[in-house]
Amino acid sequence: MEHANYTTVNEFVLQALAWNWELQLFLTALLLILYAIILPGNILIIVTIRTDVHLESPMFFFLANLAFMDICYSTVTPPNMMANLFREQKTISYLGCMAQMFFIHFLGGAEFFLLIAMAVDRYVAICHPLRYATLVTKAVCWSLVLCAWVGGFVHSISQMVLITPLPFCGPNELDNFFCDVTQIVRLACTETDSLEYAMFINSGLVTTACFFLLLLSYGALLIKVKMGSNQGKSKATSTCITHVIIIFIMFCPAIYVYCHPFRDFPFDKLVGFFHTVVFPLMNPMIYTLRNKEVKVAMLRMLRKYIPRRNE
């Protein structure tokens, strides 16, 4: 095909989230329920941690930032997905598609790096408890969060620099409900083997390496806690287990999506739905349900607020 015959693609056609109307309606209703219940819950987590003097430790500071990142991440794909449910032609503009990919990887990468920062925080708290207050200061916490945002930006922009120059001449149909590199790269009107390899390293291998690094880190911490004194052992164990649960929730779908070849697999849409919509909303909730201090602080704040409403 000659370059002169290329037809510039201005929009992409998104396939339905589900194979039939009933299942798609069910998933959309599930999404609305999650937003109605869990999204305000994440906001409550942030407000509680920011206003309660008993939750001023670095661990809760990182948790509030994780909740904020999850709120941002969960608003990248669902609005367009719900809008397309009521459209006969489910489309997204070229610029909208590029922006969606950028923010998915920007926010997703930032969350991964934040989880690494939280692992560092737990390492210092468990292995160097006497020096914890002097090592993990507010300045250090803000620096780690800033590094997480910068790391996510570098991860995302490095992919966008490689994708945006690609020529798209049709077809323009994506077998998914949102734009992602695994789908977009295959539509390019050029040879993409080397680009797919670069994306595999950037998103697949790096994600897998971080996953196993974090598992080894928390495994070592759990062994350290088990061999230590009984004082604070239960709390430290519970915190580490909670972090491990979040690591599995965050990393396993990403490894599935970005570590297999860039072609369609049966569970791609389902994994993509939970990875981009459901799990980000649930992460801070899991931390909260397993943390007595946060639950007590929430109840304390609500008790202060409810009487004022009744006055």
pLDDT at residue 279 tops 80? no
| 4-13, 233-242, 250-259: range with highest mean pLDDT | 250-259
* Cα 169 from chain centre: 32
Residue type for position 82: M
- The total number of structural domains that make up the chain: 1
pLDDT at 230: 62
Mean pLDDT to the nearest integer, 226-247: 77
Domain that holds residue 281: 3-310
Q: pTM of the predicted model, to two decimals?
A: 0.86
Nearest to 112 by CA among 224, 246, 221, 1: 246
pLDDT at residue 192 tops 90? no
pLDDT at 232: 62
pLDDT at 3: 45
Burial environment of residue 209 by CB neighbours within 10 A (0 to 12, 13 to 18, 19 or more)? exposed
The CA distance from 101 to 167, in Å, is 17
Cα angle for residues 297, 117, 142 (degrees, 5° grid): 70
Mean pLDDT to the nearest integer, 190-216: 85
The residue with tokens 């409810």 is: 306
Going by pLDDT thresholds of 50, 70 and 90, the confidence category of residue 143 is very high
**CATH number of 193's domain:** 1.20.1070.10
pLDDT at 264: 66
